[in-house]
Structure 1
Amino acid sequence: MKIVVFGASGGTGRETVRQGLAAGHHVTAVVRRTDALQAQSDLQIAVVPDLNDVRLVQEAMDGCDAVVSTLGTNARGPVTVCTDGVRSILLAMNRTGVRRLVVVSAHGAAESNDGSFYARSLRAMLGDKMRDKDEMEKLIRSSDVDWTIVRPPALTKKPHTGRYHAGTDLKIRLTSKISRADLADFLLREATAPAHTHQAPRIAV
């Protein structure tokens, strides 16, 4: 398959690219800087300095079978990177006819902000980032693409195991976690063999 990964230079994005290539897929990694990733066989690097540039976003995904977004930021204060990026992605998908979209959000966003101690704690610490994810999810749900929103808890740097649980009713606790590598595994599974279309599954070990 031809898979486009947005946010490819981040921790989860790099794992998604690595595992996608290892599985034999043709991967296009969308990054903001030319030096963000090293060239590899079967890896196409698309530089999009500004995700509001729909033309460049469209060029990056032209001819692909599925889009994976691992967009995020370490910036402090109000942010819109997820909202802006997904808005452009959805416009480009509409123009190119690409249907499959898998997006990383977070447990505690949108309707999963259930008043639990986990959700309240997360939003107290990362309120600006969570509001960005709230808005991103609204855009996705109002679109007509075949989307899946993936909601992980805390992310770790542990190695890929392929052993985790995922589902819309999965219980997330303060101690819940998932490695970026296993999250990438799930993203690729959903991109290539969808099991949660128009759903927002949670994932944890």
Structure 2
Amino acid sequence: MTVAVLGATGATGRHVVSTALERGHRVVALVHRAGNFAPREGPDEVTWPDVTDVSALTRALPGTSVVISALGGATEGPTTVCTEGIRSAVTAMKAAGVARLIAVSAHGVLETHDKSLYSLAVWGNVAERMRDKETMEPLITASGLNWTIVRPPKLSDHDAIGKYTAGTDLRIRLWSSIGRADLAAFLLDEAETPRYVHAHPRITR
């Protein structure tokens, strides 16, 4: 496949890029500025200077099999990176004739924003980023695309375990987490063999 990765230089995005390449896919890495990946790494870097730049993204997507969004906002203060990036992506994908979108969101948004200990904790720590995910998701579900919205719990940077548990009704506990490398594996698994089209799978290790 040809896989376009939004947020390709982020902590999760880099794992998506490397995992896709390891599996033999062509990767189009959307980057703020060129030169983020060594030539030997293999992705085709395409400059996407601003997440509101629809035209730059549209030019990058023809021939793409799937768009995987690993966009994330600033760790502190208000952020709209996910919302604006997905708004641009939906428009660009329709213009380029690309139908498959897999986006990383977060457990604890919208209907999972409840009184559980996990939800209370995550909103207490990164509320602005959660709000950005909450305004992003409706853009995806109303897009008419073949979408999957992945809602992981806390992300960690440990080495890949090589297995995960996923499901739409998976119970997320206060201590639940998933490594970014294993999350990337799930995203590529879903791209290769769709199981959760028009669904919101959760994932834990």
Aligned to 1:163: 163
Identity of aligned residues (%): 46
Residue segments in structure 1 that go unaligned for 5+ positions in a row: none
Letter in 1 for 2:186: F
SS of 1:126's partner is helix
CA shift at 1:157, angstroms?
1.3
Structure 2 distance, partners of 1:38, 1:109, is: 36
What is the total number of aligned residue pairs between the two structures? 205
Of 34-43 and 183-192, deviating more is 34-43
Aligned to 1:103: 103
SS of 1:28's partner is strand
CA shift at 1:117, angstroms?
1.5
Letter in 2 for 1:49: P
CA shift at 1:39, angstroms?
2.5
The answer to whether the aligner puts 1:67 opposite 2:73 as a matched pair is no
CA shift at 1:163, angstroms?
1.0
CA shift at 1:40, angstroms?
3.3
CA RMSD in angstroms comes to: 1.1
Aligned to 2:49: 49
Aligned residue runs from structure 1 range 93-172, under 5 A: 93-172=93-172
Residues 76-125 of structure 1: CA deviation (Å, up to 9, x unaligned)? 21110000000000001111110110000000012111221111111121
Structure 2 distance, partners of 1:14, 1:39, is: 14
Contact 1:151/1:200, CA 8 A, preserved across alignment: yes
Structure 1 distance, partners of 2:46, 2:64, is: 13
Structure 2 distance, partners of 1:202, 1:75, is: 22
Taking structure 1 as the reference length, the TM-score comes to 0.96
Residue segments in structure 2 that go unaligned for 5+ positions in a row: none
SS of 2:40's partner is coil
Letter in 1 for 2:170: L
Letter in 2 for 1:10: G
Contact 1:164/1:182, CA 8 A, preserved across alignment: yes
Contact 1:39/1:45, CA 8 A, preserved across alignment: no
Aligned to 1:16: 16
Letter in 2 for 1:190: E
Taking structure 2 as the reference length, the TM-score comes to 0.96
